[in-house]
Structure 1
């Protein structure tokens, strides 16, 4: 699975079988999953076409309840709380099965 992060995510949390790119460092444009946070929502909106394949899933990292309200207007596909990032591989597996297969 090709993943692009628009925010700083510890790569060691994501299984090695996935390819992870950090968008500000460059992107191949073939991401199937895009990970963003409240601080990078506009970067994501402006660059998702260049960074992602036609069929992709967006994952928002939320820190508090107010983040949900901000993200709901952007059509985000999935959310994960920052405190639960260690569980991100389970979410990626679920997204692969439900949206990308």
Structure 2
């Protein structure tokens, strides 16, 4: 059972997530900068953009062969990292 409060995310303005040639990137339309993501981070972020965190965890369990606690920890670390770089922000529900 997830231990974190539920939330949604919002990507920074002019930032898009895209898959290019099998690689996931965050692309800034404003600066032209690319931020590369590994495959699991890209897949999860793609799910999270469309859903809240708890729903995204459930959907991610279908994609990844890992315990929910491990996914929760890894994805919260990803979100914190992107948030600290001002690439996204968490929105409470």
TM-score relative to the length of structure 2? 0.31
In our comparison, the structure showing a higher alpha carbon Rg is: 2
TM-score relative to the length of structure 1? 0.29
